[in-house]
Amino acid sequence: MPRRCSLTFFFLATFVISPLTSVVGQQRPWSTMLPQELVELDLAARLRFDKNATTMASTDFGHLTQVLPAAVLYPSSVQDISTLVKSSFSSYLPFSIAARGQAHSLKGQVMAHNGVVIHMGSLNQTQEIRINVSSSPPNFYADVGGEQIWIDVLSATLRHGLSPPSWTDYLYLSVGGTLSNAGISGQTFLHGPQISNVYELDVVTGKGKIVTCSKQHNSKLFYAVLGGLGQFGIITRARIALHPAPQKVKWAHLLYKDFSAFTRDQEHLISSNNGEGFDYVEGSLIRDESDLDDWRSFFSEKDKEKIRSLLATNHLIYHIEATKYYDNVTAPTVDKNDSSYVGFLNRVHDGELKLRRKGLWEVHHPWMNIFVPKSRISDFNEGVFKKIERNSTTGPVFVYPMNQNKWDERMSAVIPEEDVFYNVLFLRAAKNDWEYLEDQNKKILSFCVKAGIKAKEYLPHYTTKKGWKDHFGPKWSKFVERKKSFDPKGLLSPGQKIFTSMPWQRK
């Protein structure tokens, strides 16, 4: 009996494999994890199984985890993506699918164990123009492919004198990737996160349907996808709000010895959110061992002198970075040309190049990003910045507030239940030994739990259902319901590890 079985398998395998190699037109190892129907599709020519492709798709910016897919799709159109998802959805052997934007994820969120990773950037290599700007007043918007990176969106819109109002601090992230999280930075207090600045989306759902959605049409899908961690569909186009672009940026740095003065002033700065105050507000920590020339610091020599003199008597000081945009008309109201608008928005890229030159970009990144309610930020300072993180030299730490009323609670993104909350961001990096930094993160989270601080993780990562349930809180049942509607077989973004009950979701 066992012998007969193995013979049958041999014949079956031969029968399956030989047509595959001839249809594709070249000898290639077809993964047994993928159904054979795939090879009969036109897109088979754009699937790669070789080690170069799968190894590339098994990594991310975090360099903390590695998961091999069975194949990588280099789509030549949105239709390719839809066909791939449809074929998994209707197959006897469904497989998981992950859209890979710029892979700046930290913990494997962009990976698909034995599934197919979609290299979204390939959509940009077609003849189609994938950033289209509408500049006829009052309809300022840009239709941009989900694979586009924000620096290219900025360049294209500036040619029309326009710009998205809400940014991330680093612009080499994909539109689909940041809209799947939220997209935050020092402008969020004023304009909301990037997900609050989207008019319309084209999405390939977990059934492979291409659906256009907005607040007015297919609104359930629209709200689900924004901040939806890639769970409900693949964003192939986003209509992004645009505003007239400023030309210049006045950039101010304020230093504090006292945490309560630092937070009081930040909260005051973000309270004037009618456009008359500052346009950008971020805060950070500076310790006596901080590198004032690190990749996220932009101090003049004069600033550095002041900082050093303050650090001579204080181990820990606080820094607010605030900017005011202006142009040639409003120039008389500000005293000095500090930076161009583009130079300011793209400042972190210089930091990236600096780290790349030192071989410090492709290292381990156990980053942690949490939202802390305003009412508990001073407890966080005492318990975390002054104790757990004391003498820590693990990278820049940012602390800045946002207004809850700029977020739309119908969207999937999760934030604390307070009118103002702080984004606290630990940008940790290590060449080798990174586990102790992860321990540090765990200590901080457990401090929050013990102290009853209702913090929420941004760019969350949990490995248990309980972790995810607690993260989403009252939004959990809606999140599950949305999954059932838009991706009932649990095919999409398996690397987030939210829905792991399907065999093709497991790793």
Active site residues: 104, 169, 282
Peptide bond into 244 cis (omega under 30): no
The reply on whether position 120 binds ligand FAD by CB under 6 A is: yes
3-state secondary structure of 89: helix
State the burial class of residue 246 (Cβ atoms within 10 Å of its Cβ: 0-12, 13-18, 19+). middle
CB atoms within 10 A of CB 245: 19
When asked if residue 176 is in the footprint of ligand FAD (CB under 6 A), the reply is yes
Tell me the residue number closest to ligand FAD, measured at CB: 176
3-state secondary structure at position 497: coil
- Is-contact 194 241, C-beta < 8 A? no
Helix (H, G, I), strand (E, B) or coil at 212: strand
Candidate residues 164, 183, 383, 460; the one interacting with ligand FAD per rule CB under 6 A: 183
| Alpha carbons 204 and 428: distance in angstroms, whole number | 34
Q: Does 180 bind ligand FAD (CB under 6 A)?
A: yes
With H, G, I as helix, E, B as strand and everything else as coil, classify residue 345. helix
Query: Using the rule CB under 6 A, is 401 a contact of ligand FAD?
Result: no
* Residue 102 engages ligand FAD in binding (rule: CB under 6 A): yes
> Cβ of residue 264: shortest distance to ligand FAD, in angstroms?
24
- Using the minimum distance from each CB to ligand FAD, give the nearer residue, 218 or 496: 496
Nearer to ligand FAD, 20 or 437 (CB): 437
How far lies 122's CA from each of 34, 157, 447, in Å? 21, 22, 44
Between CA 259 and CA 261 the distance in angstroms is 5
CB of 299 to ligand FAD, least distance (A): 19
Cross-strand partners of 162: 244
**Buried b or exposed e, range 440-459, using 16+ CB within 10 angstroms:** bbeebeebbeeeebbbbbbb
263 lies in the binding site for ligand FAD (CB under 6 A): no
Q: Which region, judged by CB under 6 A, interacts with ligand FAD, from 65-73, 123-131, 169-177, 239-247?
A: 169-177
- Return the range that interacts with ligand FAD (CB under 6 A); candidates 242-250, 260-268, 392-400, 492-500: 492-500
Single residue of 459, 472, 479, 489 touching ligand FAD by CB under 6 A: 459
Residues 134-163, mask of contacts with ligand FAD (x by CB under 6 A) = ------------x-----------------
Rg (CA), the chain: 24
Q: Give the span between the Cα atoms of 231 and 203, in whole angstroms.
A: 11
Of the candidate spans 226-234, 319-327, 375-383, 436-444, the one that interacts with ligand FAD by CB under 6 A turns out to be: 226-234
Helices (H) and strands (E) in the chain, counts: 15, 19
How far apart CA 9 and CA 19 sit, in angstroms, is: 16
Q: Does 269 bind ligand FAD (CB under 6 A)?
A: no
Residue 185 binds ligand FAD (CB under 6 A): yes
Is the Cβ of residue 47 or residue 311 nearer to ligand FAD in the bound state?
47
Contact 458, 74 (CB under 8 A): no
**What is the amino acid identity at position 152?**
D
- Least distance (Å) between residue 130 CB and ligand FAD: 12
Residues binding ligand FAD: number (CB under 6 A): 36
Please write down the long-range contacts of 476-482, taking CB distance under 8 Å and 24 or more positions apart: 479/231, 479/412, 482/220, 482/224, 482/228, 482/231, 482/232, 482/412
Q: Which stretch binds ligand FAD (CB under 6 A): 271-279, 381-389, 429-437, 488-496?
A: 488-496
Q: Which of 44, 48, 61, 411 binds ligand FAD (CB under 6 A)?
A: 61
Q: What's the min distance (Å) between Cβ of 453 and ligand FAD?
A: 21
Site for ligand FAD in 322-341 (CB under 6 A): none
426: left (phi over 0), alpha (psi -120 to 50) or beta: beta
User: Residue 247: CA atoms inside 13 Å, Cβ hemisphere, count?
Assistant: 7
Select from 87-95, 102-110, 250-258, 299-307 the region that touches ligand FAD (CB under 6 A).
Answer: 102-110
Should residue 213 be labelled a site residue for ligand FAD when binding is judged by CB under 6 A? no
Shortest spacing between CB 282 and ligand FAD, in angstroms? 10
- Name the site residues for ligand FAD (rule: CB under 6 A): 60-61, 98-105, 109-110, 120, 146, 168-170, 173-174, 176-178, 180-185, 229-230, 234-235, 459, 493, 495-496
